[in-house]
Structure 1
């Protein structure tokens, strides 16, 4: 009964999380992406049309027509910088001053780069200084005008707020004055802040993934547990407070006239997520094509050596603490496979087949996870996904450290910072886990696309590892 309630609520959340929108068929998240695309189109138009207008005016005044190539190069470089510097973000879309600041910074950077390159290539003489300066100024004015207009346009289109907001009431009377936010009673939908139940955390993660901002209104004694759930759910989360509380707050905010403590922020911006996904696809797709003969050969040997499926599927904890099925080449006898991961593989594990020892020692058994990357459940680089029954020192991982759930703010990875540091193999002692947790949190808090590249390169050194068995 509880499972059916969970499923029906999740379906309702996904279908009805856009209340208040003038275009009710879209969520506000989808609307923001559409607005980002419009902003980008407007910026490109400003960068190209602005110099054309300025040039035509100068020609009418008797000045010679300048070269247009520099303008095209500036526009291309601006687009790249804008994507990396958060020019198209919620803050830039909702606050005109912030939008202007970010756009002009990207524009100035692109212009400076073009001028520097022109100087070193000694092609500055080919660029009309007057035309270039007038075109740059005109484009900047058009961009400023667009940044003043877009926040008003966006808020009008979104019905007053650009965020899909969810308020979870727990142990308090239901309220109905939270504006356009979706309000749910945690008890009615079977939701509770139980850090010892991974399926409950997965349920919470599934609910909140449809929302931009999640607020918890609960009894003060439950604030810490809710805060930990929010921190690990890859969501912007806040606790509604009547008074201050020690929940690891990172900022103060307000909601409908009531103070809140901000306890969670998504670690990656939209631009960061786009960079990471682009890296995943640009590496995973060629690798799958290149390794197809190897994958086929491994699958054939597995089928010939022992009866059973080629792939081993197991529930693992993914981004936002949501469960997903990880794929691996089966390296154990079918009748002895551990579906929950209660027993870690050991060096002389009798469950492992002869060929299984080879593919585990060389990490070839992990290659099917490239398919998980394509499906979007995993990334090439990130905290390694763990099975629900994984133990460290005879205790479940989250019993060793309750902040364990925070490592799931990002997609799990085929490799990660912990792995290139040598933290692999069985977790016999509690320190075997805490060392990995420390590396995982360091990776999340200091994420950078070039660090992902460095980890991928360093992974080649540890593909065959003494602790891989």
Structure 2
């Protein structure tokens, strides 16, 4: 059968362009009482399997390195302090982790069942020593190392490996039972297709998917209220709110691939969520290219959208935020102190202004700014945008708004974690254009909230900053924000961060 590349059909642009009279503009309906109770029961302190396996890699590298150093300590009277042993320990540990990775020893199935894969682990660790011995032979350095040290390190290393993995296998099983380590999924679409999919998922021995319920736009006559023991919690519009409250990780659309119009209609509503979106393919006769699939056990799913900046990417971005936020606070502290003094001398009221804005996953956050308006004329809801020559703005306020100095306290937001340094700029909850909320102007506006908002962003350095007084400006800002989300990398963040001071010299739209 011919292979099909789904990327030509189900792309973010294709979904955004799709127009359906039943598709909503990124909003969500209020959840029913039962769905609210279900959403509220899930714990917040969860870990993804990717993060767990990554931490095992780090722990094994540290343990194996430490085993080599401790073996050196045990024979210190004979060997003394020789740094070549330390570097060899680090290199051997790194080689072991790489070989374990190549042999799929960090897959959840292996980590859950250490004893079943004991032979693989022993062979890899023995292979590391065989490769090191071969390398030392060819480099003619084998006589520089103690054989007793090698034997001690080998024994301590293999005990450490099995000890850690036995502990981790018990922990992983416990975390899977109590909900600490799971991927929460919702089935979109009911009926026979959903029942077949659920039965297939439940049969997988190493399944980390927790099905939280079913959502379907069809009535109970076409879509039963209970499917394979799971309740139908509402329609697709209600699913958007449920996914946010319950912190859903994955949406699995259980519809036939031939129902392209309905699939696109659903994706148009769902793509704004920061979740993985998969299309069930276990009962389809079509065969796509292998790279289009992901698997839960042996159940194939078509990858439609991936959650942006997920797992270790989120760890790297958070580290980036902490380092550069601290750097920014230190560098700009004189300017912030001078600004605070200027504000106090210019007008009565507090130095800082707090405004509620939409953050990641549509959550409401408080953003810090230097106060630039008279206290009695402040507009915390931002219903009335600041315009050129606005009488509500103080003398100092005009300068700090023009130069974006009023945004400097947001370094503290980024340090505390409510903002990222780089991302879509957060808008006030009630921000409007011509008496219309931004969500009413831009279709798919809430997709900007799939990542943390930022102190600066791709839209801002491309000229879309300041007053959003036309619908076109809102659309262009959203377009650049979505481009950033779909093309994120640390290098992209670094580029935006370093271009920001240069682009802020253009103050045409800032007042």
Instruction: Tell me which interval the TM-score lies in, with the shorter structure as reference length.
Output: 0.5 to 0.7
Measured in 2, the distance between the counterparts of 1:194 and 1:393 equals 26
SS of equivalent to 2:84: coil
Question: Are 1:468 and 2:487 matched, yes or no?
Answer: no
Question: Are 1:164 and 2:183 matched, yes or no?
Answer: yes
Match of 1:357 among 368, 379, 398: 398
Measured in 2, the distance between the counterparts of 1:435 and 1:136 equals 60
SS of equivalent to 2:390: coil
CA distances 1:65-113 after superposition (whole Å, capped 9, x unpaired): 993132255379889x99xxxx7xx99442559x99xxx9xx99xx99x
1:17 is aligned to: 42
Question: Are 1:436 and 2:455 matched, yes or no?
Answer: no
Question: Are 1:29 and 2:59 matched, yes or no?
Answer: no
Measured in 2, the distance between the counterparts of 1:399 and 1:190 equals 27
2:108 is aligned to: 94
Measured in 1, the distance between the counterparts of 2:309 and 2:280 equals 24
Measured in 1, the distance between the counterparts of 2:388 and 2:475 equals 22
Measured in 2, the distance between the counterparts of 1:394 and 1:127 equals 81
Alpha-carbon shift at residue 362 of structure 1 (Å): 1.1
Alpha-carbon shift at residue 361 of structure 1 (Å): 0.8
User: Contact 1:341/1:389 (CA < 8 Å) preserved in 2?
Assistant: yes
Can you give the 5+ residue segments of structure 2 that lack an aligned partner in the other structure? Answer: 1-28, 112-116, 203-209, 218-230, 286-290
Measured in 1, the distance between the counterparts of 2:92 and 2:478 equals 43
2:19 is aligned to: none
CA distances 1:19-39 after superposition (whole Å, capped 9, x unpaired): xxxxxxx95527875664444
Q: How does 1:210-289 map to 2 (within 5 A)?
A: 211-215=248-252, 224=264, 227-228=267-268, 230-238=270-278, 251=292, 262-289=303-330
Measured in 2, the distance between the counterparts of 1:356 and 1:226 equals 45
2:21 is aligned to: none
Give me the TM-score of the superposition, normalised by structure 2.
0.62
Measured in 1, the distance between the counterparts of 2:483 and 2:143 equals 47
Change (3 A) 1:74 1:327: same
Give me the TM-score of the superposition, normalised by structure 1.
0.67
User: Contact 1:216/1:238 (CA < 8 Å) preserved in 2?
Assistant: yes
Kindly name which structure, 1 or 2, has the bigger radius of gyration based on alpha carbons: 2
1:344 is aligned to: 385
Measured in 2, the distance between the counterparts of 1:231 and 1:147 equals 40
Question: Are 1:182 and 2:212 matched, yes or no?
Answer: yes
Question: Are 1:446 and 2:487 matched, yes or no?
Answer: yes
1:207 is aligned to: 245
Alpha-carbon shift at residue 253 of structure 1 (Å): 5.9
Alpha-carbon shift at residue 164 of structure 1 (Å): 3.5
SS of equivalent to 2:369: strand
Measured in 1, the distance between the counterparts of 2:300 and 2:467 equals 45
CA distances 1:245-286 after superposition (whole Å, capped 9, x unpaired): xxxxx9556779988654432222322212211121112124
1:322 is aligned to: 363
SS of equivalent to 2:323: helix
Measured in 1, the distance between the counterparts of 2:237 and 2:37 equals 22
Question: Are 1:366 and 2:407 matched, yes or no?
Answer: yes
Change (3 A) 1:380 1:336: same
Measured in 1, the distance between the counterparts of 2:374 and 2:71 equals 72
1:21 is aligned to: none
Alpha-carbon shift at residue 240 of structure 1 (Å): 6.2
Alpha-carbon shift at residue 411 of structure 1 (Å): 0.9
1:247 is aligned to: none
User: Contact 1:51/1:134 (CA < 8 Å) preserved in 2?
Assistant: no
Change (3 A) 1:313 1:207: same
Match of 2:61 among 19, 29, 43: 43
User: Contact 2:69/2:89 (CA < 8 Å) preserved in 1?
Assistant: no
Q: How large is the RMSD of aligned CA atoms in angstroms?
A: 5.4
Alpha-carbon shift at residue 308 of structure 1 (Å): 3.8
Question: Are 1:390 and 2:407 matched, yes or no?
Answer: no
User: Contact 2:274/2:308 (CA < 8 Å) preserved in 1?
Assistant: yes
Measured in 1, the distance between the counterparts of 2:185 and 2:418 equals 24
User: Contact 2:63/2:157 (CA < 8 Å) preserved in 1?
Assistant: no
Alpha-carbon shift at residue 378 of structure 1 (Å): 0.6
Alpha-carbon shift at residue 331 of structure 1 (Å): 1.2
Change (3 A) 1:51 1:328: closer
User: Contact 1:331/1:360 (CA < 8 Å) preserved in 2?
Assistant: yes
